[in-house]
Structure 1
Amino acid sequence: MSDKFLADKDWEEAEFRAKVIAELPTQLTQGNVDWAMCQLNVSRSTLFRLVKQFREDGRTSALLPDTRGPKPGMQPLSPAVEEIVSHHFKGFFATRRKPTRTRFWREVAADCRAKGLAPPSIRRLGRWLEGHDQAKLMARREGKDKAERRHLATPGGLTADSPLDIVQIDHTKADVTVVDPVTRRPLGRPTLTVAIDVNTRMVLGFHLSLEPPSLLAVALCLTHAVMDKSHWLVARGISTDWSAQGIPNAIYVDNGAEFHARAFEWACSEYQIDLQHRPPRTPRYGGHIERLIGTMMGAIHLLPGSHFSNIFERSDLNAEAEAVMTLGELETWLALEITGSYHARVHSALETTPSAAWAAKVDGARLRMPADLRQFLVDFLPSEQRVLQRDGFHLFHIRYWSDELRWLMGRESRKFTLKYDPRDLSRLFVLTENGIIEARPADLTRPAITLWEHRAARRALREAGRQSVDEELIFRAIEAQRNLVDSAERQTKAIRRHQARRSHLTPLPMIDVTPDIAAREALPGPEGEGSPFLSHPGFKVEEWYDDD
């Protein structure tokens, strides 16, 4: 029988007892007593006890059947035994060694017998333990963090009054393997970066990458969250609506290194975004984004190539052998899942759908949009500080130059902020008082490379014993590495991932501020490790990929 059934049965019995006893007169006669004993099927002494309990308390619950076992507080331990139990509790049981109750009882019983005392039973010892603060006991046995997660009360929750008041951002490793778009061989599990609006539960934007969490992934996710996504959806053949857009007033994140990066903190300040980091090891402060990620992963588990959430669910399924989706296809699938399913389902906390909540509240809210979406993305890219030298800027052992830099010559030797895209080191964005200056390698014959390739080349040169590294050596090493990759007859997963990183380094038009809607709508569908992200009215868009 369930506990609920037993509780209902006990309450019905208490109600019947109260009904019978309420009919008894104040002065009981033998006839009244015999009648009540027959109705309740109890002895004379039990009847008088029930009558006394009910008349003193006046509540039906006073007549609930007694629970079995000793009453709390009965039969306390003797002072001598209590001293032994307390000693072993502090020095043995309530420690990180986490002994079992049986082992605790054996230690207590051994000392009691040595002193000629009757040891308590293991059940009495268990009742003694239950009288202690379980949160404090767990903190001593398993650590403060675990005790707080289980026992700490968390009344209320994170609330936002209007759309974009609070946005939460986080990363997760997607529980599915993606494949190369050409060979259809497995590449690995991508990283999903996603942003959610706390007030309406709308997914504001996301980004997929084959690389670990990085500042670049955050920048691309935020750009996707802020921009008008209508053209982005059209480019992927998606007919559903995704109306969420705008600069958030506050961003809540965890304590990942990318969220503490100086460039990220500066960019948030630049756009008047209140950046809040949740306390370490307290996932409850990111409940909204955590639940969203759980919902998204639950949907992904239906895809071929899913790893599920643990090895028990996966069993003997070979996820890599089952994988069929490319990164671009997974991106489109996620967009459909978000816009066509998640946004259209009634949210239990809202009692309406996220899309309806957004539509109802966004009219009264003041949405802030970036004046220049390209500038917005650049502001959130990683940055370095460098002094402008006579021959240009030197970064990553590469010399960068632009004719526009001539106008900055002769000024005081102050440091300029250089923004760079780790996926393509063929350009730098120099931040000046008059806007962005785009600098290119002084040697225009240099091929476009990624920061990942740059680091690999430097590592190879160091291993070869090179004491100094210059630009020529780096590019020669990268060219040699690319030739090895291209000539490999049998590709490993690592090499396939390397090729996927390079897939975006094909000549594409740069972002242009001249309207060209036809060119924009004719953009190719998602290929390789990414897809066009900056689909914004009045802009030609190049492909942006995450390679670092």
Structure 2
Amino acid sequence: MRSVRLFDFLQFDSASWQVVAQDGTELALKNLATNRIRRVPVAELLADDSYLPDSPGGFPSLEGAAVLETLDTDARDRAQWLHRHVHEVVYGIPPEAAAGTVPTPDYDLRNRLQDRIAAKLAELAATGTPMGERTLFRHIAAYRKDGVAGLVDGRLIRPASMSGRTDPRVVALLEAEVSGQRNLSTGTRSRAVNRVRVLAAQQGLTVPSETTMYRILRRIERSRHPFGDATTRRTQANRPDRSWGRQAPSRPGELVEIDSTPLDVMVLCPDGTTSRADLTVALDVATRTPLAAILRPVATKGVDAAILLARAMTPLPMQPGWDASLSYSRSVLPQGMLPGNEDVHASIAAKPIIVPESITVDRGKVFIGSTFTAACERLQISLTKAAPRTPTDKPHIERFFAGVNSGFTQYLAGYTGPNVVRRGKDPAAEAAFTLAEVQNLLDWWLAAVWQNRPHTGLRHPAMPKKDLTPNEAFASLAGVAPQIPVTLTREDYIALLPLEWRTIQPYGINFEGLTYDADSLHEYRGVPSGLPLPANGRWEIRYDPYRLRSIYVRDHRKGRWIEAEWTLARQLVGPFSLDVLTAAKKAIGRRGQVPGNELLANVNRIMTAPASRTERQAAGRAAATVPAVPEQQMEAPTPTGGDGQDPVTPIEAASIRPRRKARRIDLLED
């Protein structure tokens, strides 16, 4: 706890000072080097990071103020019983006594402490709970030093280590065995334990019991799934070894992601064979607008990636040969698959042209070759290379590919499905379209369907219930809302907040149906806290019911609090309370919806225009406690949306009769 008193010596603003006077909320500081006097508000001085008193403050720490909440019933009753008797010895009256209560003669403060202790020992012996004199002395000393927390048995709050008394070298062997499961065929835990036993015997190490080995192994596993499905294990291993970041560009073109993937459809090649096409797309993250898409047979080449940049900044009608290709495709495709020129050009005209500023690519030869690099340099576009074999560095475009498959590709003849389990008997025999025809269909679908389909990742605070389309997001994207400054002392404030217990998952912390995350939580993801009951391995969480933008996780290993923020907090119109969150969940339940992305929209709706009386009361309580944030600003969208799985109304349905033998399909908006 920070404090400052008259005539204190302190360090502030890289200088040594002495407090020489006080005028209301201002202090007069005298510079010990120059004798200059400086007037500083008390709040500004205590909140400044450079403030450092020469001598520690005399106020006690609030670290253990809520220790009783972390104990089970028996331990809490024991601590409260000790507190009553120790308090009576030290202060003359029990803690529950009213102000002005006169102490009993045995515990009158005019008596010596030794006499009061003797009286208490006699009282305890008479009630059948005897206690030794040294034990009572120890309790009194601990109470004077740490308060009620000093009366708690330290064995009950001491966290357990992962390996206990097991030789650290044996634990290292177990860790190496778990790490080595990444590319192996899935085995059982017994195989891993037996291998470690053999290695330990070769090194002359003492191995604990089988039960202990399995317990340590399960703690080491965390969320890596070493003994689950091999595909899941490799996917988990591709996660970056750091906290998950969220890219939030504030303007179109600020961040563009480019990637390639085989399209899940068989196309007819010029030589009469069939093969899958390779789709390369440049996606603007801020608006989810695909700047350009190129289909190539077999695999994309470096020159195709360079052309992609040119197409991204050129409207389709202005690209040489596009009109002719479209006219040809319209003439050979079944009637109704491609609309007339007026409809096509109207859709293309509504699609924005976005100039990339920064592009994120993977390390494939297509994107790190001289052709693509030279094109980016020529167009003055910065190039960022994703980590090797880390698709999570480009999450938006990876999700875009899934949206293309569900909304476009699956309606085409020759659709192969995402994997062999979902593949038809002979997709190659159903292939009915050439690469150019699929390219023109895709260009039209992106402009007419994708750009006008709402995406759950695109929201505006002024329209909290409306999912924006990429075209609408481009027109309405605004600046990022400023954060609300916190002026209270962090540690003291958190220590008095309500307590909950939660586990730390790979994605963060699930609290009241919301996901909270912070960079500092990375090393504890999937790791038990080691705290005994009632924690049962979970972590101590503190939350302010009137400010649920963030929660606070107790890092008992490093003696600090970790602030974890709601992953969608930057899209809020203002701070919200637990009452507002409860009202939003009830509103979703009344409409028969599942809490998810709708939760953010309902919270923003209640904060801006609450509908029911209960919601108005909840929003009023929150507004009276926390200042509001301006509504006219919008946070960049989160890496969701556009997955093609939300129910939407088709904009066109055309019965297709392919010119070649193929199944009948309907081209619909998914």
Higher helix share: 1
Task: Using structure 2 for the length normalisation, give the TM-score.
Answer: 0.38
